[in-house]
Amino acid sequence: MRSKGTRRPVVTSADAAVASIPTGATVAMTGAGGGILEPEALLTALETRFLGAGEPRDLTVVYALGMGDRMGGGTGRFAHPGMVSRVIGGLWTWSPELRELARREQLEAYALPGGVISQLFREIGARRPGLITTVGLGTFADPRCGGGRFTARGAAELVELVEFDGQEYLRYKPFRVDVALVRGDTMDRNGNIGWAGEAAQLDATSVAQAARASGGLVIAQVKNISDGVLDPHVVHLPAPLVDMVVEVPGQWQTHAGEYDDRLCRSGAPAPDAISASSPSGARAIIARRAAAEVGRGGVLNVGFGIPSLVIDALVAAGRSEDNTVLIEQGIIGGRPLSGDLFGAAIHPEVVHSSTTQFDLINGGLIDTTCLGMAQIDASGSVNVSRIAGEINGPGGFVEISQSADSVIFCGTFTADGLDVDVVAGRLCIRREGRLRKFVRTVEQVTFSGPHATARGQRVLVVTERAVFRLVDGGLELVEVAPGVDIERDILSHMDFVPLIDSPAQMDPDLLESVAARAVS
């Protein structure tokens, strides 16, 4: 901790900084998949200390968005028996090592909506009595549906049902944060930290606030320590909020490279920055069909995977300027990246905190969102958070899907081995996927169809062979691709029978440009 009367954070080494973290501490972190704003040097030093000295042990780790590289980095640094006793995360898929510990019941595993965790950090930082919100009602986060618990081990109740003026809410309970691990770009001579060279801000300020209000320790990793003074508009971690700073000159902006100016500067994208990628097969059909549902002049959100390809489809159709694109990491405008760098954008117009971004999302700023789906059932409920018993977590899925005016779920009709082709403008299914997505009851509810119906949301489900919409009675089949037989190719691969009236034919033009065969 800093000495009383000292304004500037103490500059120290990563090893010395993490030596201040005690056994049993609750450690809150910021970061996003692809290495965006992840304090990797601090995490590496913490892992090294545990492997060498056997401490600190029994940590509780809390983070909002996915962190890691699927190769032991990020939250994977904690994936050693005894190092952590509890993990509360918004997205687990970036760390297969940590998921394996959860599968073996070697830690208490919880997942909560990513925005909830970010905003709960803010509430803890303001010493308020938790986060009270409708986010998560009717989903796995609802205490009537598990309260975010993914392992039998662990009895902590992180959320409770409350009521005000006859309306149900969830109260996500506050907790003490002993240590915050955050990252910035530059610390100036006054000890203030800014993010001018970072691809995102995420929730670093909220994470630091939570630790400070709890009487905890704030450790920041930065690339540079400057003798100058930062522009006050780029400072997001004021000096009094931070205890220790570790300078890491080799810090990379993302896992893709040390620095890419396009990810943190506005400007007109160069032609190569806006050229569309070329998805093929089922993925291309889905992206093009979903893009046809996106209007003009609104705010568009896309999720990870196939939904992110909707941006490519819009670019290919000459519609890149039709909408303002928003992603939950705090980016508005620009061209969002896909794949492992999802969460950053080329030439963003706005880069602010993900905590604030979730306020905008919950307030209804998104007109249309395109999201993925792992399972969907007869009621229109969707699961992406738990697959075959494996913990995935929702990321920002819950907030976005509950608040957008129009929700378009995008995914292949079946999974694991689906092979399709387009022949003479007709869809040909060469091999069916081994896993069904249209199931009688989803394994876990990440999006509640009945709640969406009650809210009057417009909900579509777009696959390569069929389109469904959510109506009062459940899912209705409204469109079928040319070449697809309803009984053979649709109903025989569903665990329930959807409503069927007079489904239209999918526009053949969507298929004609998809000539390449692909395995999805």
Among residues 191, 212, 247, which one ends one of the domains? 247
Question: Within this chain, do residues 194 and 291 fall inside the same structural domain, yes or no?
Answer: no
Question: Within this chain, do residues 301 and 179 fall inside the same structural domain, yes or no?
Answer: no
Q: Closest Cα partner for 290 from 401, 411, 383, 375?
A: 411
Question: Within this chain, do residues 312 and 192 fall inside the same structural domain, yes or no?
Answer: no
Residue 361 is assigned to a structural domain of this protein: yes
Question: Within this chain, do residues 378 and 339 fall inside the same structural domain, yes or no?
Answer: yes
Question: Within this chain, do residues 104 and 38 fall inside the same structural domain, yes or no?
Answer: yes
- Amino acid present at 264: C
Q: What is the mean pLDDT of each run of 10 residues along the chain (520 residues)?
A: 68 98 99 94 99 98 95 95 98 95 96 99 99 98 97 90 98 99 98 96 98 98 98 96 98 94 79 52 95 97 95 92 96 92 94 98 98 98 96 98 98 96 92 97 98 97 98 96 98 98 94 56
**Encoded tokens for 152:** 């039998």
Q: Closest Cα partner for 514 from 430, 421, 429?
A: 421
Q: What is the pLDDT of residue 269?
A: 57
Question: Within this chain, do residues 234 and 283 fall inside the same structural domain, yes or no?
Answer: no
- Amino acid present at 456: G
Query: What's the CATH number where 450 sits?
Result: 3.40.1080.10
Q: What is the pLDDT of residue 437?
A: 98
Contact status, residue 310 vs residue 325, Cβ threshold 8 Å:
no
Residue 256 is assigned to a structural domain of this protein: no
Question: Within this chain, do residues 447 and 307 fall inside the same structural domain, yes or no?
Answer: yes
- Greatest Cα pair distance, the chain, in angstroms, is 77
Residue 187 is assigned to a structural domain of this protein: yes
Residue 175 is assigned to a structural domain of this protein: yes
Q: What is the pLDDT of residue 518?
A: 41
Question: Within this chain, do residues 319 and 213 fall inside the same structural domain, yes or no?
Answer: no
d(CA 12, CA 244): 7
Q: In which domain, by residue range, is 491 found? A: 271-519
How does strand 335-336 pair with strand 324-327? Answer: unpaired
Contact status, residue 254 vs residue 260, Cβ threshold 8 Å:
yes
Residue 243 is assigned to a structural domain of this protein: yes
Return the DSSP state at 490: I
Q: What is the pLDDT of residue 272?
A: 45
Question: Within this chain, do residues 207 and 279 fall inside the same structural domain, yes or no?
Answer: no
Question: Within this chain, do residues 285 and 226 fall inside the same structural domain, yes or no?
Answer: no
Question: Within this chain, do residues 34 and 102 fall inside the same structural domain, yes or no?
Answer: yes
Residue 194 is assigned to a structural domain of this protein: yes
**Burial (CB count <10 Å: 0-12, 13-18, 19+), residue 155:** exposed
Residues with a known catalytic role: 328
**What secondary structure does DSSP assign to 374-435, as a single string?**
SEE-TT--EE-SEETTEE---TTHHHHHHH-SEEEEE--SEESS-EEEEETTEEEEEE--SE
Residue 219 is assigned to a structural domain of this protein: yes
Question: Within this chain, do residues 83 and 154 fall inside the same structural domain, yes or no?
Answer: yes
Residue 263 is assigned to a structural domain of this protein: no
- What is the total count of domains within the chain? 2
d(CA 357, CA 448): 22
Among residues 214, 247, 280, which one ends one of the domains? 247
